[in-house]
Structure 1
């Protein structure tokens, strides 16, 4: 964006409490706080809330929480009795802290937008990955886009449409518990094809690695993995670097530590995407539908 970062002081007291002080005036300014609520999710979420409060008390004109990765996004519904819908709770906390708007990237489900009582601009990381794949020497006739589960079909279909209207395949699985998945069968034809598996995030990589093994069993020539959010909880690195994937393509919505890098990993930047979205929010510029569609902005 060609701007300097705002001057801010953030520290922890001896008991772990967060301290935030703005070291420059934001009176009458549009403030954009870029903070993924990634692991450690509770620490980063509390830091975001305190920063929002500090900006509000410093008489900022507006405060926009730019959240490249929205923690607790998977807790967006009740699947069993007596469960919390933590995604709604976190949305309430951000609103009550004083945010005027949220700019988020690839929320786990579209319904999470409705949990906020303030405007939400939803940016998709797909265009960044599509542009990268288009730059490779992959024939459109050889490609097939694969959804690793039934719930991600809409996401995979949108990806396939952008990727030269590639055909679609679906991995049908049954989940027996949190972070545990059992692949059942494949819907679609991948024999002799380059399969591109698309998901919003990779956590332990159990779902996507079992799906890749199934694709190889069904005759896929190569398997690529594409995801926006690389959570990479153990044992994700061991699974992703096991040789199942030709390449694992992620974005930098979460910081990826050096020990979590491996030869097949490619990290793409969403900086231009978020920067353009921030400028448009600041300028109240709607643009054309086609332009926004290209940027992946809802």
Structure 2
């Protein structure tokens, strides 16, 4: 009986409705009881779950499904592996990994692997961009809204839609989805075993900044870059700092900023690439921006 996930699900739905623990408890139980349930400390009674479901606009069957879903360490390992392969763009390996999974998959796992399968099939040329975006939009609109929000899967799908739109030159459509992900509504601190949503939002900021740059919206791109750098420093995450500083230099070039300031951006980018052993990025930076880097010798 998975009381931890049940508590997380109740907390997520409560916060989505901007409801306090006391408001949820009113007429059902006590606020401390809600706190204990959300922390996974106690099992709620069936009638308590029924009234929670009514207040949170979901069904009792949803909570029962979450409660009965046993935590599987092996499943989490598969999720982490697939996320890593996706980051590395190893789409053939993703398809092979998904094909090797035992059936039937739990409902959420089926959605998660389906998203990655459709995405990999697109990049391997088996599905058109238009068809892939249509499938992803259908997932967001037709699937159980509670299920697809588990572990922020809906955000990963929206990011894929935005990225695909940008790659096809549909920048306004792309920005719509990036802004939706970065909206206050999606910034609620909901726990997840799969992704750190704050780190993921930094990646979305980077994707948005690139899209704005490609659109020629240099000032807006620079503002997003600054927000991304600030968020990266706050989270002590170096993963995308080099890329942010590279695009910051690009923006300053477009805005005819002083050469010394541009050089500093590229030097910071280079230092970060070298620290993180991103040899390809370092080489490309030297190839394309050597005139700026040499100014600092």
Q: Normalised by the size of structure 2, how large is the TM-score? A: 0.29
Larger gyration radius, structure 1 or structure 2: 2
Higher RCO (C-alpha under 8 Å, 6+ residues apart): 1
The structure whose residues are more often strand, as a share, is: 1
The structure whose residues are more often helix, as a share, is: 2
Q: Normalised by the size of structure 1, how large is the TM-score? A: 0.29
